[in-house]
Amino acid sequence: MRKLSQAEAIREALEQAMSEDERVILVGEGVPDPKGIFGTTSGLQQRFGKARVFDSPLSENGMTGICIGAAISGMRPVMVHQRIDFALLAMDQIVNNAAKWRYMFAGQVSVPLVIRVIVGRGWGPGPQHAQSLQALFAHIPGLKVVMPTSGRDAKGMLLAAIRDDNPVIFIEHRWLQGIVDHVPQASYVVPLDKAHVCRSGKDATLVAFSFMVVEALLAAKVLAEFGIDLEVIDARSVRPLDIPAFAASVRRTGRLIVADTAWKTGGIAGEVIASVTECAFDALRAAPLRIALPDLPVPTSHHLTRDFYPDALHIARAISAHLGRDIPDEALVSRLARSTPHDVPQLEFRGPF
């Protein structure tokens, strides 16, 4: 099977969706730009024309309202925000209109709208350009919220989101867009409500979101050498959460750990733990554990970001302590300390997912 980066997989999904359905349009700041939103929209305006692929002004709320109107009128818009932070300017349209119309009109009106938003760190993005706000959107009934990790899932879930009659917040992590993965060439869909077991294990269940899946798999591989056998689950969807899959895993392992790309307080990690506890409390042999960002705005200085983001080493240390295993720290450091600058994607992960 051929390999594509996640960015290439997303671009292929858009191209196939627009070829299959002339109602699909692509809108966003920088969509026809030469850089093409990390390459995910490159060449699409040349292929499908300016009437279906076009730039938008710095008017997020207004443009989102236009896209909602287009969706109600029978189009299937895909709107792109290069940072999830910019979507905050359109929260009135997203929360008060897109999420509500289907319910307010008893299903007679649907809003088949996909809003692509990008999260993730880099050099100096700071507190207004690097937030991970999935819990904020997942709180709103009427919105589906997904965070694909692999390129295969990114393509299949984007095609599923475009075909869905409900508004979908499609959250991409910029550090995943360069990772290469096996991606089928044919058009296919991946369900928007099913988690994926990336690694089977018996000692603890580790549910991870987005790029934390990569960090979790790196940590699990090293911890296995010290006798800790983790089951790693890619959550894929933030709303709805695949609680049955998480609970089934916890019934096998007896322990639950959740790794999120967002803050700890009010985050989706807490919701996973609460939901699993409600339905599988009797299976838990220890208190659950959350691994998330500290409750502080994202710093700009790379000296401060160095210790802000939990990585594979952080996860391994936290889990070994949580499970009461005495693993020499120097052993974990020698295996998991990053070999690349902390503000660029690490190269250790080669997949598959």
Active site members: 60, 129
Instruction: Tally the residues of the chain.
Output: 353
Nearest to 216 by CA among 315, 84, 349: 315
State the Cα angle at 110 between 107 and 113, rounded to 5°. Answer: 155
Assigned token pair, 331? 């052993």
The residue type found at 153 is: D
Alpha carbon distance 350, 353 (integer Å): 9
Tell me the C-alpha distance between 114 and 208, whole Å.
Answer: 23
- Locate 338 and state its tokens: 């990053």
Cα–Cα distance for residue pair 158/15, rounded to 1 Å: 11
Give the burial string for 261-290 (b: 16+ CB within 10 Å, else e).
bbbeeebbbbbbbeebbeebeebbeeebbb
CB 318 within 8 A of CB 288: no
CA–CA gap between residue 260 and residue 278 (Å, rounded): 20
Which DSSP letter does residue 94 get?
A: I
Question: For the chain, where are the alpha helices, taking DSSP H only?
Answer: 6-20, 36-39, 44-48, 60-72, 91, 101-104, 134-138, 151-163, 212-224, 243-253, 268-280, 302-305, 312-322, 329-336
Peptide bond into 328 cis (omega under 30): no
What is the three-class DSSP state of 243?
helix
Distance CA 277, CA 288 (A): 9
Whole-angstrom distance, CA of residue 255 vs CA of residue 257: 7
